Amino acid sequence: MKNKQLEQLKNDWIIDATINDIQTKLQNNEISSKELVLIYLSRISEIDQSGPSINSMIEVNPEALQIAAALDYERKTKGSRGPLHGIPVVIKDNIDTGDKMHTSAGSLVLANSYAQDDATVAKKLREAGAVILGKTNLTEWANFIAEDMPTGYSSRGEQTLNPYGERFIVGGSSAGSGAAIAANLATVSVGTETCGSILSPASQNSIVGIKPTVGLISRTGIIPISHTQDTAGPMARTVADAAILLNVLQGTDEKDPITLSNELLSVDFTEFLKLDGLKGKKIGIARETYFDELTESQLAVMNSAIEKLTELGAEVIDPIVISSTNEEWDINVLLYEFKADLEAYLKNVDSSLGVRTLSDVIQKNEQLGEKALKYGQKLFLDSNETSGNLTDPTYLNSLEKDYYLARKQGIDAVMEEHQLDAIVFPNNLGALLPAVAGYPSITVPAGYTNEGEPVGITFSGIAFSEPTLIEIAYSYEQGTKYRVAPKL
């Protein structure tokens, strides 16, 4: 391809190109996957690492061009593997890749760590023919190191900015995965969530984020916080692209037993991309507490979004009251599970790094000093003070309480009371309940404040209700088409 053609594609066609858009061009030989990778690499150079300097990428895959070329040859000689064949995908830097990229969770302690093998989600991406273009920055350790760390900051990757304006928070912890997709630095991305880490950057960067039911996607090979709440999930500019990616990511994994409870193995999520998906749906608005945290401008956007739900055929119950909303919650489950789960992960890290326990990581951070501990490591210290023993009564009592408050007295109760299909929260402000319950949520762009800050509407449901949530989200997205690309 001539440089002039490449420049035109980079500046015009590639903006907001969907998976289907790209596949059409790949199949018609209008572009190759290798050329596509070059376009995205050029944008990363000009937008991410210079110019606006969004700083969403922490590392680029040095083998991306060669992988793309091999996939081009495979398409020519054997045909396409499917919708992700030749599609550049970026993944969060807490997801293992057994290649020439590091997996560090944004930390200096693991800055030189090479994983021995791909995480299960990375394997699935490669099997589907995706090109893993690089790793995205994140709030360090998925925002489980310090209490006051800004979203999108890590010691290794420094600060990621919001493409819609650096005055707006970028959201986290999957900050780079959100900002990169908003800025069109890749086609889709993979984030991870424990409590709001997909929903927050999706809302703040005006993209779609799906936080799946815990058990839909394997966590094997992902630097953990909590086996009770952790999950990976798709982040994309459209609900359709997110559904395509979810098809690839989901599945069972004997190394992650919760995935053996996956009720949706045979489901094609793209079958739920229905324009009339909101018709007849009953949706509850969780105003108590959550809407009180919105600015006046954000509240105006959300109220308009709720009106649209009615216009598009939904029955809206406004407000609903979730009885457990104002209960006192603790983070004992996270503190105990982080220590146990992290130390299990560290068993497979290169021994030359000298980190096998949480105590080792804390000590290494102290040795590195201010650069590693700009915001401290209070959560590490708090976690390390626990026994790490998952038979400890303190842990078990909190685990039981969380389960009851989030499920039985929370989402299950209110959805049964009103016979709801979904609950609406603004942005990621209601992330706690579905996160603790292990239930799914999907965020879709709902508009922008007077200042230009993106606002997202989040739909949450019961376990394995992703098909219903996708119907709702797609119908809302297509009925509003609020998203606009950032002006970089």
Q: Is the pLDDT of residue 23 over 80?
A: yes
Q: Is the pLDDT of residue 72 over 60?
A: yes
Tell which residue, 289, 264, 315, has the closest CA to residue 419: 315
What pLDDT, on the 0 to 100 scale, is given for residue 219?
A: 98
| pLDDT tens-digit readout, 429-486 | 999 999 999 999 999 999 999 999 999 999 999 999 999 999 999 999 999 999 999 9
Tell which residue, 285, 307, 381, 291, has the closest CA to residue 339: 381
SS3 60: strand
Q: Is the pLDDT of residue 11 over 70?
A: no
Mean pLDDT score of the chain, rounded to an integer?
Answer: 96
What pLDDT, on the 0 to 100 scale, is given for residue 459?
A: 98
Tell which residue, 396, 434, 404, 463, has the closest CA to residue 258: 463
| pLDDT tens-digit readout, 88-104 | 999 999 999 999 999 99
Q: How far apart are CA 370 and CA 172, in angstroms?
A: 22
Query: 55-83: string of b/e by CB count within 10 Å (b at 16+)?
Result: bbbbbbbeebbebbebbbebbeeeeeeeb
Residue 290: count of CB within 10 angstroms of its CB: 24
Query: Do residues 132 and 177 touch, judged by C-beta distance below 8 A?
Result: no
Residues serving a catalytic function are: 92, 173, 197
Looking at the chain, the whole-number percentage of residues with pLDDT higher than 90 is 95
Q: Is the pLDDT of residue 106 over 70?
A: yes
What pLDDT, on the 0 to 100 scale, is given for residue 1?
A: 47
What pLDDT, on the 0 to 100 scale, is given for residue 289?
A: 83
Tell which residue, 136, 46, 54, 55, has the closest CA to residue 88: 136
What pLDDT, on the 0 to 100 scale, is given for residue 32?
A: 97
What pLDDT, on the 0 to 100 scale, is given for residue 7?
A: 60
Query: Do residues 133 and 64 touch, judged by C-beta distance below 8 A?
Result: yes
What pLDDT, on the 0 to 100 scale, is given for residue 326?
A: 83
Q: Is the pLDDT of residue 8 over 90?
A: no
Q: Is the pLDDT of residue 162 over 70?
A: yes
Which band of pLDDT confidence, cut at 50, 70 and 90, is reported for residue 374? very high
Q: How far apart are CA 20 and CA 338, in angstroms?
A: 39
DSSP string, 159-173: E---TT-TTS---SS
Query: Do residues 192 and 233 touch, judged by C-beta distance below 8 A?
Result: yes
Query: Do residues 232 and 191 touch, judged by C-beta distance below 8 A?
Result: yes
What pLDDT, on the 0 to 100 scale, is given for residue 299?
A: 98
Which band of pLDDT confidence, cut at 50, 70 and 90, is reported for residue 348? very high
Q: Is the pLDDT of residue 38 over 50?
A: yes
Q: Is the pLDDT of residue 246 over 50?
A: yes
| pLDDT tens-digit readout, 285-298 | 999 889 999 999 99
What pLDDT, on the 0 to 100 scale, is given for residue 13?
A: 87
